[in-house]
Amino acid sequence: MNIDWEALHSEAKLIMKKAYAPYSKFPVGVAALVDDGRIVSGCNVENASYGLGLCAECGLVSNLISTGGGRLIAAVCVDADGNYLSPCGRCRQLLFEHGGNEMLLMTPDGPSPMSVILPWAFGPDDLEK
Ligand code: THU
């Protein structure tokens, strides 16, 4: 499947502008290509009860499932400047659940598979053992 990284980057920057991050003032946007060709995205949504803030990847996964599910092929996560952002540990786990080891994440060094981003990940297969 062809991956239009520029389209993903643009979509991530677009949704980053919609982030609700009044406390950290650190807006995040993420966009991903799904195996049926659609693009899903999300932004962070913080809360006055700080610990309840939702990362951008939470929104993306919710968007993925609510629009029909599927597997994530490639993702781009950005900060306020549109620079590639490293997803936090919890969000790596969220992305892994829906993209597996093969999903590609854009990094400053180019696309990198989840097997590198989250090595020896715990996932759905472990529950079958
Ligand atoms: N954040 C994300 O949305 N995704 C990440 O992968 C890293 C962190 C958000 C959480 C919080 O709203 C803000 O960035 C600062 O930590």
Q: pLDDT for 69-122, tens place per residue?
A: 999 999 999 999 999 999 999 999 999 999 999 999 999 999 999 999 999 999
Provide the terminal-to-terminal Cα distance of the chain, rounded to the nearest Å: 31
**Residue 128 is assigned to a structural domain of this protein:** no
Q: CA-CA distance, 7 to 17, in Å (whole number)?
A: 16
**Residue 29 is assigned to a structural domain of this protein:** yes
**Residue 68 is assigned to a structural domain of this protein:** yes
Q: Look at the chain and count its residues.
A: 129
Give every CB contact of residue 82 below 8 A, 6+ residues apart in sequence: 9, 12, 13, 16
Host domain of residue 65:
5-122
| Residue spans of beta strands (DSSP E) within the chain | 29-34, 39-43, 72-78, 104-107, 110-113
- Give residue-wise pLDDT tens across range 32-84: 999 999 999 999 999 999 999 999 999 999 999 999 999 999 999 999 999 99
- The catalytic position among 11, 46, 57, 102 is 57
Which residue ranges have their beta carbon within 6 Å of ligand 1?
Answer: 21, 24, 26, 28, 44, 46, 53, 55-57, 87-88, 91
Report the number of distinct structural domains present in the chain: 1
Q: pTM here? A: 0.97
**Residue 127 is assigned to a structural domain of this protein:** no
Distance 29 CA to ligand 1 centre (A): 9
CATH number of the CATH domain containing 15: 3.40.140.10
